Amino acid sequence: MNHKIHFFLLSLTTLILLARPAHADNVDVLINTLKTADNYKVRVTAAMLLSKHKGEAKAFAALLYTLNNDENETVQGTAALSLGKLGNKEAIPDLEKASKSKKTFLKDNAKKALEMLADTCPEIDLKGKQIYLNIGPLDLTGSTSDKNEILTALRDLLNAQGSEVTYVTTMFPGCKQPSESDLKKKKLKGFMIDGTLEISLDSGEVVCDLKLIVATFPGKSIKMMNSANAGVTGKLTPATIKTCIKHATPAAFAGVKQFLARSL
């Protein structure tokens, strides 16, 4: 048997074995395979298996990155379908973009994924809501490790902060990003939060500096900026960074909340 084929079959067998729940480190191994495997068929298999890890932020972040960055259409299309199976609505903007791709397999699977997410989209009650708050893509500097996982966690925190404000909704009916016309029909003002998270390590302390920008949505005219920082003793790991941003996010969002209140 050809050595390359033999290696490929072994790789697939290994991935299938790693899919079993008994292995606690399955997700990390699959993500690493998805990012580093030279053979696109191995990456396809990893993308398929990651769809079994619902609720795992790392799996979602890795698939989202693959959807947008892998050079192989089949890998991208498989990642799109897996995102649909995970059921995380945050993938919708990226899937909508992919559904307009000129790559047939990617476009078709992105549309299927959007249908899956639409089927599971919850009923959204806009009663009493006056502001739609879109959570932007955000950026991360100072730490290249697990960037997508950390930014996904940050977006979740900002979504949670926005959802606590009685007159704010961070979701729109149909789980879609509304147009200006959509917002007017629902009598909602639109704003977006974007910004940068800067991570550094100072004398054994992980420091996170969160800078937030509030702009109109969908017009994206900047209205205000606010920042906050926090520090946590530990190593520069995703877990420590997530703990750090849990402290910084409410402080940074406090200024955003004040601005939104003045905008009513």
**What is the predicted pLDDT for the residue at 144?**
63
**What is the predicted pLDDT for the residue at 249?**
97
Q: How far apart are CA 75 and CA 225, in angstroms?
A: 38
Q: How far apart are CA 246 and CA 226, in angstroms?
A: 16
- How many Cβ atoms are within 10 Å of 203's Cβ, its own excluded? 7
**What is the predicted pLDDT for the residue at 57?**
86
**What is the predicted pLDDT for the residue at 81?**
95
**What is the predicted pLDDT for the residue at 12?**
46
**What is the predicted pLDDT for the residue at 6?**
40
- How many Cβ atoms are within 10 Å of 17's Cβ, its own excluded? 11
State the SS3 of 34-101.
HHHCCCHHHHHHHHHHHCCCCCCHHHHHHHHHHHHHCCCHHHHHHHHHHHHHHCCHHHHHHHHHHCCC
Encode 20-36: b = buried (16+ Cβ within 10 Å), e = exposed. eeeeeebbebbbebbee
Is the dihedral angle over the CA atoms 43, 49, 55, 56 positive or is it negative?
Answer: negative
> Which residues have a Cβ under 8 Å from the Cβ of 119 and sit 6 or more positions away?
none
Q: Which residues pair with 215 in a beta bridge?
A: 192, 222
Domain formed by 131-262, architecture: 3-Layer(aba) Sandwich (3.40)
HSE-up of residue 254 (Cα within 13 Å, Cβ side)? 8
**What is the predicted pLDDT for the residue at 25?**
53
pTM above 0.85, yes or no: no
Encode 121-150: b = buried (16+ Cβ within 10 Å), e = exposed. beeeeeeebbbbbbbbebebebbeebbbbb
CATH topology for 3-119 is Leucine-rich Repeat Variant (1.25.10)
**What is the predicted pLDDT for the residue at 124?**
86
Three-class SS state of 226: strand
Q: How far apart are CA 138 and CA 127, in angstroms?
A: 29
Q: How far apart are CA 176 and CA 118, in angstroms?
A: 9
What is the residue extent of each domain of the chain? 3-119, 131-262
Intervals of the chain under pLDDT 50: 1-24
